Structure 1
Amino acid sequence: MAWLALALIIFIFQIATILIVEYRHPSKAVAWLLILFCFPVIGFAVYYFVAQDYKNRRKVRKKGTHLFRKRKKAIWQNSSIITRPFQSNNFELRRESRLFRLLSHLSESPISGCNDTEVLTNGEATYEAMFKAMEKAEHHIHLEFYIFRGDRIGTRFQQLLLKKAREGVKVRIIVDGLGSYGLNARFVKPLRDSGIEFFSFLPPLFALYHRKVNFRNHRKILVVDGKVGFVGGINIGDEYLGNDKKLGFWRDTQIQLKGDAVYFLQNTFINDWFVVSNRELDDPELYPSHHCQGSEQVQMIASGPDSRWDAIQEMFFGAISVGKQRIYIQTPYFIPDLSIFTALKTAAVSKVDVRVIIPGVNDSKLVNLASLSYVEELMQAGVRFYQYQKGFMHAKIVIVDHMLASVGTANMDMRSLFSNFELNAVLFERSTIERLYVDFEQDLKDSKEIILKEFEQRSRMQKIKEMLARMLSPLL
Structure 2
Amino acid sequence: MKLKKLLSSILSTNAAFVILLLLQIGFLLFAVMRLGERFVEVYFLLIVLDIILLVYITNKNEPISYRMAWIVTISVFPLFGGVSYLFLKLSQQFPKSLDMRNQLQSKELLVQETDVMEELSAACPDSMNLARYVAEYGLYPVYRNTLTEYFPLGEMQFEKLVAELEKAQRFIFLEFFIITEGYMFDTVSELLIRKAKEGVDVRLMYDGIGTGMLNSVKPFRRLQENGVKCKVFNPFRPMISSVQNNRDHRKVVVIDGHTAFNGGTNLADEYINRRERFGHWKDTAIMVRGQAVWNYTVMFLQLWGKNDSDEIRRFAPLLTQDIVSEEYDGFIQPFSDSPLDEEPVGKNVYIELISNARDYVCITTPYLIIDEELSNAIVFAAKKGVDVRIVTPHIPDKWYVHMIAWNNYARLAAKGVKIYEYTPGFIHAKTCVADGIVAVVGTINFDYRSFYLHFECGAVLYDCSVIGDIVSDFEKTVSVSQLITREECEKRSVFKKIVGAILNIFAPLL
The answer to whether TM tops 0.5 is: yes
Aligned with residue 221 of structure 2, among 189, 194, 213: 189
Is 1:13 the equivalent of 2:43? no
Task: Show the counterpart of 1:149.
Answer: 180
Task: Show the counterpart of 1:440.
Answer: 474
Deviations 1:213-232 (A, max 9, x none): 11111000100001100000
SS in 2 for 1:111: coil
Deviations 1:302-349 (A, max 9, x none): 111123521111111122111110011110011122221111111111
When the two structures are superposed, what TM-score results if normalisation uses the length of structure 1? 0.90
1:65 CA displacement: 2.6
Instruction: Tell whether the 8 Å contact from 2:382 to 2:388 is kept in structure 1 after alignment.
Output: yes
Is 1:105 the equivalent of 2:141? no
After superposition, the Cα gap between the structure-2 partners of 1:281 and 1:157, relative to the gap in structure 1 and judged at 3 Å, is farther
Task: Show the counterpart of 1:338.
Answer: 372
Task: Show the counterpart of 2:441.
Answer: 407
Is 1:24 the equivalent of 2:57? no
Q: Distance in 2 between matches of 1:356 and 1:345?
A: 12
Aligned with residue 126 of structure 1, among 157, 171, 174: 157
Q: Distance in 2 between matches of 1:283 and 1:474?
A: 35
Is 1:471 the equivalent of 2:505? yes
Q: Distance in 1 between matches of 2:39 and 2:297?
A: 58
> What pairs up with 1:171-210 in 2 under 5 angstroms?
171-181=202-212, 182-205=214-237, 208=239
Q: What one-letter code is carried by the residue in structure 1 that aligns with 2:438?
A: L
Task: Show the counterpart of 1:249.
Answer: 280
After superposition, the Cα gap between the structure-2 partners of 1:325 and 1:237, relative to the gap in structure 1 and judged at 3 Å, is same
When the two structures are superposed, what TM-score results if normalisation uses the length of structure 2? 0.85
After superposition, the Cα gap between the structure-2 partners of 1:280 and 1:145, relative to the gap in structure 1 and judged at 3 Å, is farther
Q: What one-letter code is carried by the residue in structure 1 that aligns with 2:178?
A: I
Q: Distance in 2 between matches of 1:238 and 1:62?
A: 33
Task: Show the counterpart of 1:55.
Answer: 93
Query: How many percent of aligned residue pairs carry the same amino acid?
Result: 28
Instruction: Tell whether the 8 Å contact from 1:221 to 1:231 is kept in structure 2 after alignment.
Output: yes
Mean Cα deviation higher: 96-105 or 313-322 = 96-105
1:241 CA displacement: 1.9
Aligned with residue 269 of structure 2, among 219, 238, 256: 238
After superposition, the Cα gap between the structure-2 partners of 1:315 and 1:13, relative to the gap in structure 1 and judged at 3 Å, is same
Q: Distance in 1 between matches of 2:500 and 2:312?
A: 51
After superposition, the Cα gap between the structure-2 partners of 1:59 and 1:241, relative to the gap in structure 1 and judged at 3 Å, is closer
Question: Number of residues paired by the alignment?
Answer: 466
After superposition, the Cα gap between the structure-2 partners of 1:374 and 1:301, relative to the gap in structure 1 and judged at 3 Å, is same
Q: Distance in 2 between matches of 1:161 and 1:46?
A: 44
1:259 CA displacement: 0.7
Task: Show the counterpart of 2:23.
Answer: none
> What pairs up with 1:44-443 in 2 under 5 angstroms?
44=82, 46-48=84-86, 50=88, 55=93, 58-61=96-99, 65-72=103-110, 82-84=116-118, 86-88=119-121, 90=123, 93-181=124-212, 182-205=214-237, 208=239, 211-274=242-305, 282=311, 284-290=313-319, 291=321, 293=324, 294-307=328-341, 309-443=343-477
Structure 1 residue ranges without an equivalent (≥5): none
Q: Distance in 1 between matches of 2:114 and 2:253?
A: 22
Q: Distance in 2 between matches of 1:278 and 1:45?
A: 36
Q: Distance in 2 between matches of 1:308 and 1:260?
A: 29
SS in 2 for 1:456: helix
Instruction: Tell whether the 8 Å contact from 1:49 to 1:213 is kept in structure 2 after alignment.
Output: no
After superposition, the Cα gap between the structure-2 partners of 1:162 and 1:55, relative to the gap in structure 1 and judged at 3 Å, is same
Q: Distance in 2 between matches of 1:229 and 1:119?
A: 12
Q: Distance in 2 between matches of 1:19 and 1:218?
A: 33
1:19 CA displacement: 4.9
Q: CA RMSD in A?
A: 2.6
1:61 CA displacement: 2.9
Q: Distance in 2 between matches of 1:19 and 1:53?
A: 21
Mean Cα deviation higher: 391-400 or 38-47 = 38-47
After superposition, the Cα gap between the structure-2 partners of 1:190 and 1:280, relative to the gap in structure 1 and judged at 3 Å, is farther
After superposition, the Cα gap between the structure-2 partners of 1:148 and 1:194, relative to the gap in structure 1 and judged at 3 Å, is same
Q: Distance in 2 between matches of 1:186 and 1:60?
A: 27
After superposition, the Cα gap between the structure-2 partners of 1:20 and 1:134, relative to the gap in structure 1 and judged at 3 Å, is same
Mean Cα deviation higher: 13-22 or 194-203 = 13-22
SS in 2 for 1:448: strand
1:200 CA displacement: 0.8
1:56 CA displacement: 5.4
In the TM superposition, structure 1's runs of 4+ consecutive aligned residues that sit over 4 Å from their partners are: 37-46, 48-54, 56-59, 277-281
1:5 CA displacement: 4.7
Instruction: Tell whether the 8 Å contact from 2:92 to 2:243 is kept in structure 1 after alignment.
Output: yes
1:195 CA displacement: 2.3
After superposition, the Cα gap between the structure-2 partners of 1:372 and 1:12, relative to the gap in structure 1 and judged at 3 Å, is farther
Q: Distance in 1 between matches of 2:110 and 2:276?
A: 47
1:103 CA displacement: 3.8
SS in 2 for 1:332: coil
Q: Distance in 2 between matches of 1:446 and 1:193?
A: 46
Instruction: Tell whether the 8 Å contact from 1:396 to 1:407 is kept in structure 2 after alignment.
Output: yes
Task: Show the counterpart of 2:19.
Answer: none
Q: Distance in 1 between matches of 2:277 and 2:61?
A: 39
SS in 2 for 1:149: coil
SS in 1 for 2:231: strand
SS in 1 for 2:245: coil
SS in 2 for 1:374: helix
Instruction: Tell whether the 8 Å contact from 1:106 to 1:309 is kept in structure 2 after alignment.
Output: yes
SS in 2 for 1:192: helix
Q: Distance in 1 between matches of 2:109 and 2:293?
A: 14
Deviations 1:380-414 (A, max 9, x none): 21111011111101000111112201000000111
After superposition, the Cα gap between the structure-2 partners of 1:19 and 1:232, relative to the gap in structure 1 and judged at 3 Å, is farther
Q: What one-letter code is carried by the residue in structure 2 that aligns with 1:142?
A: F
Deviations 1:402-441 (A, max 9, x none): 2201000000111101111000111113421111111111
Q: What one-letter code is carried by the residue in structure 2 that aligns with 1:237?
A: A
1:469 CA displacement: 1.0
Q: What one-letter code is carried by the residue in structure 2 that aligns with 1:354?
A: V
